[in-house]
A and B are shown apart, each in its own frame.
Chain A
Amino acid sequence: MNTQSTTPHPYPRADVDPPSGSLFPHKHLLGIWNLDPTTIKFLLDTADKYVDQNRQARKNTPICAGLTQINLFFENSTRTLMSFEIAGKRLGMDTVSMATSSSSIKKGETLLDTAATLNAMHPDVLVMRHADSGAVKLLSEKMECAVINAGDGRAEHPTQGLLDALTIRRRKGKIHGQTIVISGDIAHSRVARSNIYLLNAMGARVRLVAPPTLLPKDIDQLGVEVFHRMDEGLKGADVVMMLRLQQERMKGAFLPSLREYYQYWGLTREKLACAKDDVLVMHPGPMNRGVEIASDIADDINRSAIEKQVEMGVAVRMACLDILTRNLRGGEMQ
């Protein structure tokens, strides 16, 4: 065998882990982009079990006792951070959370210095959110432990994608073949991207509905149908996912006003009538009532799955923490 160690690798290392017999052949969970359908199904199946467990009085299974989970959030978040904390605690992890106000980033420390510091504390899982696309990947290259992306810039928010998929699968029975509409600020949304990759991988038909200013260039090349009119996009839809509209978008000349946005792209009962009768309405939260979604729709228990999504969030995050730490626990399977 030729063992010439000095020969440089001809191409940069591919961004894919080597094939193995593992059901989750990755060290980190950085995005949905590089997950195959089997892996996604494995994550969803595992999360399904935790949904049932979370509905019992005794919600904790301390399978991860003794392991340390650090939640490192460089961007404001309450629900995702809390969801990860609860998920970790229910698995018996020691969870520590660090939010942006108390971080040393403000003192000028670089991300890689932060990684080195955290590495020295020997965490077993690091959950991270950052305002820059690709920042979590950069940090993961220097971390010895598993890293979960809790949202990076506009790029990916994989656990949100998984919890949305789990919600759809449980309510509709399957993802394959469903017509799923994502509407709102697609351009600045990591939730939209993770959902597009995931739903496409699982065989759904994905449609995007947004004003042209909120759609990024060449988004149609990601395998989605693009609409600008709500009634056209919603026609025959099984699921509609509304995205949060950031109020700052008025300043960048993306939109004239919230009032006009609501008139054309806000989800009202009238517009929703174009979709199927049993359409499922979703929103990653926090909602702007009367901006992207009418209150009566958000509160319609027959259609809205918004609170279900939050519930699924904890289960999905427990599944991710469980799966990513299995190698530390002797690889036992649940």
Chain B
Amino acid sequence: MTDIYSNARIIDPATGFDDMAALVISDGKITACSQDINTPDGANIIDCGGRILCPGFIDMRAHAVDAVAAPAGGITTIILQPDQNTMIDTDAVVERIRRRAEDGGSSRVYPMGTATQRMEGVQLAEIGQMQQSGAVAFTDCRKSVANAQVMRRLLEYSSYFDALIVQYPEDASLAAGGVAHEGETATRLGLAGIPVAAEAIQIERDARLAEMTGARVHFSLISARESVDAVRTAKKRGAKVTCSTAPHYLMLNDNALEGYRTFAKVMPPLREETDRIALIDGLADGTIDTLVSDHDPKSADVKRLPFAQADHGIIGFETLLPLALAPVHAGKLELMTMLACLTSAPAKLLGLETGTLAVGAPADIVIFDPDRPRRLSVDDLLSSAKNTPFDSLPVQGQVWQTIVGGKTLFRGEP
């Protein structure tokens, strides 16, 4: 069985290829990608109508496997965070999640294991065994490993397995009790603040530990200008640090909290306009390596509460592409750079064979229209919950088809 995706603008951030061409898929693998293709008999030809075809998105930070929503957002690989009902902290849990995902019919799911046992930050988790069972990285998710000695040992130990340690950059004691960015908005609304320094301090400390141990550290979500500066400086010094941010930090600042809107309550908190701009600049100059959705479906029951009591979290699978395209359309970010943050960069960090259109790679691809104007609407979203502050936002860009291992999982309107 051979599928030929023709008349597509093919972009492969792994090689920098960007041209009109056709892509051939057989037996779930990419077999050719070029401008002139000999059509074999019986091949199924799909006209992409000039849309962009690129590797499927790898979402490095999702808190739920939203099996319907992920393909609708062009996400072909979900990196599941360990903060599940059953915490992913042993090889048995890793295996169970891998097996359930392999049943097929959905995007690929790779779990991250915990970095320390029970995410308590005291004893190291069984990194070797979890890695053997299929865990792609190790993190305490929304907790940072606070103790510097534990973090040092964690980095030293994991470097033996070349395992990636993902740190949530937040100094817990500085952030304690905070629910919003410490600034004018939080002061006026009477909300306890989380200072920017809580994030920057953690990044600076862990960058030093990365240098000291020679190990890799990835910061799971950064939200502030000072954090971008801290990562940029550490990279210049040669520390093996990388970091992610999420599209909502590129779209919103803490003005979104006005009226105590809990849909804008996220961790780390939305910060100020200068931070928002610095994050886009950080993506553009390569300081920020990957874009993640931080997809976290939350029911209205835990969101419709007083701000301090409400859960944080936002759904992100289906808004990932249109929101990430916004700075591209605004001329602040190259399309190739943005797509690399969603494909080749996370693949390289996690050692995945996807995220590329190379011949022989698994046929995980997404085809999307980058310009199509529309209004986001919660009624159209397929996510298991609707906690998003982006309802009725005018955006551009829509996923047309999502293909995992040669199988079309999502097909939008023609």
Q: Provide the residues of chain B in CB contact with A8, threshold 8 Å.
A: 375, 377, 391-392
Task: Across the interface, name the chain A residue whose C-beta is closest to B193.
Answer: A217
Residues of A contacting B301 with CB < 8 Å? 110
In the assembled complex, the CB of A4 is this many whole angstroms from the nearest CB of chain B, namely 13
Which listed residue (B184, B189, B305) contacts A221, Cβ 8 A? Answer: B184
B183 touches A132 (CB 8 A): no
At the interface, is chain A mostly helix, strand, loop or mixed? Answer: loop
Q: Does A175 contact B (CB under 8 A)?
A: no
A251 → B minimal CB distance (Å):
12
Question: Which of B182, B261, B301, B392: most chain A Cβ within 10 A?
Answer: B392
A110 surroundings in chain B (CB, below 8 A): 301, 304-305
Structural contact, B187 and A218, CB atoms closer than 8 A: yes
Q: Which residues of A contact B260 (CB under 8 A)?
A: 133-134, 137-138
Are B305 and A153 neighbours in the complex by a CB distance under 8 Å? no
How distant is B255 from chain A, measured CB to nearest CB, in Å? Answer: 11
Tell me if B42 counts as interface (CB < 8 A to partner A).
no
Pick from A9, A153, A222: contact of B188, CB under 8 Å: A222
> Which residue of A15, A135, A193, A217 contacts B195 across the interface (Cβ within 8 Å)?
A217
Question: Are B184 and A134 interface neighbours, CB within 8 A?
Answer: no
User: Do B190 and A152 have beta carbons less than 8 Å apart?
Assistant: yes
Shortest CB distance A65–B (Å): 34
Bitwise interface map of A from 198 to 240 toward B, beta carbon under 8 Å scored 1, else 0: 0000000000000000001111011000000000000000000
Task: Tell me, in angstroms, the Cα distance from A130 to B375 when the chains sit together.
Answer: 37
Say yes or no: B305 contacts A138, CB within 8 Å.
Answer: yes
Known: A10-B392, A112-B304, A132-B307. A137 touches B183 (CB 8 A): no
Please determine whether B304 and A154 come into contact, CB atoms closer than 8 angstroms. no
CB proximity to B under 8 Å, residues A119-159? 130, 132-135, 137-138, 152-156
Is A24 on the interface with B (CB-CB < 8 A)?
no
User: Is B306 an interface residue, CB under 8 A from the partner?
Assistant: yes
Are B193 and A216 in contact, CB atoms less than 8 angstroms apart? yes
Q: Smallest distance from the beta carbon of A35 to chain B beta carbons, Å? A: 15
A33 at interface, CB cutoff 8 A: yes
Q: Give every chain A residue within 8 A of B187 (Cβ-Cβ).
A: 216-219, 221-222
B258 touching A133, Cβ below 8 Å? no
Q: How far is the CA of A218 from the CA of B305 in the complex (A)?
A: 26
Interface size on B, residues (CB 8 A): 28
**Is A111 an interface residue when CB atoms closer than 8 A count as contact?**
yes
Q: A133-B260, A134-B189 are in contact. Are A153 and B184 (CB under 8 A)?
A: no
The interface bits of chain A over 313-328 (1 if a CB of B lies within 8 angstroms of the residue's CB, else 0) are 0000000000000000
Residue B259 at the A interface, CB < 8 A? yes
B190–A153 touching, CB < 8 Å? yes
- Are the CB atoms of A133 and B184 closer together than 8 Å? no
| Binary per-residue interface labels of chain A (86-129) against chain B in the complex, 1 for a CB within 8 Å, 0 otherwise | 00000000000000000000000011100000000000000000
Verify B309–A132 contact, CB threshold 8 A: yes
Instruction: Report which of B182, B259, B306, B377 forms a contact with A135, defined as CB distance below 8 A.
Output: B306
Are B392 and A134 neighbours in the complex by a CB distance under 8 Å? no
A12 within 8 A of B: yes
CB of B101 within 8 Å of the partner chain:
no
Residues of A close to B391: CB separation below 8 A: 8
Shortest Cβ distance from B273 into chain A, in angstroms?
13
Interface residues of B in 388-413 (CB under 8 A from A): 391-392, 394
CA of A241 to CA of B281, assembled, Å: 46
The answer to whether B258 touches A15, judged by C-beta atoms less than 8 angstroms apart, is yes
Of B190, B195, B309, which contacts A190 at CB under 8 A?
B190
Is B385 interfacial (CB-CB < 8 Å)? no
Residue on B with the closest CB to A139?
B306
- Residue of A111, A133, A156, A219 with most chain B CB atoms under a 10 A cut-off: A133
- B258, B260, B306, B377 — most chain A CB neighbours (10 Å): B306
Residues of B close to A153: CB separation below 8 A? 190-191, 306, 308
| A137 to chain B: closest residue by CB | B260
A218 to B301, CA, bound (A): 33
* Contact present for B193 and A137 (CB under 8 Å): no
Shortest CB distance B249–A (Å): 19
Residue of A nearest to B256 (CB): A12
Minimum Cβ distance to chain B for residue A139 (Å): 9
| B window 61-103: CB within 8 A of A | none
B189 close to A133 (CB less than 8 A): yes
Please state if B184 and A155 are interface contacts (CB–CB under 8 Å).
Answer: no
How far is it, in angstroms, between the C-alpha of A217 and the C-alpha of B196 when the chains are bound? Answer: 11
In the complex, A213→B308 CA distance in Å? 21
- The reply to whether B307 and A218 form a contact with Cβ atoms under 8 Å apart is no
B182 touches A155 (CB 8 A): no
A155 touches B183 (CB 8 A): no
- Whether A155 lies near B189 (C-beta < 8 A) is yes
B306 A134 Cβ-Cβ under 8 A:
yes
User: Could you tell me the distance in whole angstroms from the C-beta of B223 to the nearest C-beta in chain A?
Assistant: 16
Q: Is the CB of B184 within 8 A of A218?
A: yes
Does B195 contact A33, Cβ atoms closer than 8 Å?
no
Residues in B neighbouring A10, C-beta threshold 8 A: 392, 394
Q: Which of B188, B189, B304, B394 contacts A138 (CB 8 A)?
A: B304
Determine if A155 and B190 form an interchain contact, defined as CB atoms under 8 angstroms apart: yes
Docked Cα-Cα span, A137 to B192, in Å, equals: 18
Q: Which among B190, B191, B192, B193 has the greatest number of chain A C-beta atoms within 10 A?
A: B190
Contacts of B191 in A (CB 8 A): 133-134, 153-154
Residues of A contacting B394 in the complex (Cβ-Cβ under 8 angstroms) = 10
Q: What A residues does B195 contact at CB under 8 A?
A: 217
- A217/B190 in contact, CB under 8 A: no
Q: In the complex, are the beta carbons of A137 and B259 less than 8 A apart?
A: yes
The reply to whether B306 and A130 form a contact with Cβ atoms under 8 Å apart is yes
| B318-368, CB < 8 A from A | none
Known: A15-B259, A193-B190, A216-B187. A111 touches B375 (CB 8 A): no
Closest A residue to B181 by beta carbon equals: A217
Residues facing A in B151-173 (CB within 8 A) are none
Residues of chain B lying within 8 A (CB to CB) of residue A154: 190-192
Q: In the docked arrangement, what's the CA distance between A139 and B182, Å?
A: 25
Among candidates A15, A133, A138, A218, residue contacting B190 with C-beta atoms closer than 8 Å: A133
The B-contacting residues of A in range 1-51, CB under 8 angstroms, are 8-10, 12, 15, 33
Known: A217-B182, A217-B183, A217-B193. 18 other contacts (CB 8 A): A12-B261, A33-B188, A110-B301, A112-B304, A130-B306, A132-B306, A132-B309, A133-B306, A133-B307, A134-B260, A138-B304, A153-B191, A153-B306, A155-B189, A193-B188, A217-B184, A219-B187, A222-B184
16 CB-based A-B contacts, threshold 8 Å: A8-B377, A12-B261, A110-B305, A111-B305, A130-B306, A132-B306, A133-B191, A134-B260, A134-B308, A137-B260, A138-B304, A216-B187, A216-B193, A217-B182, A219-B187, A222-B184
Q: Which 8 A-B pairs have the closest CB atoms?
A: A155-B190, A134-B260, A154-B190, A132-B306, A133-B190, A135-B306, A218-B184, A216-B187
Q: Which residues on B are within 8 Å of A, measured CB to CB?
A: 182-184, 186-193, 195, 258-261, 301, 304-309, 375, 377, 391-392, 394
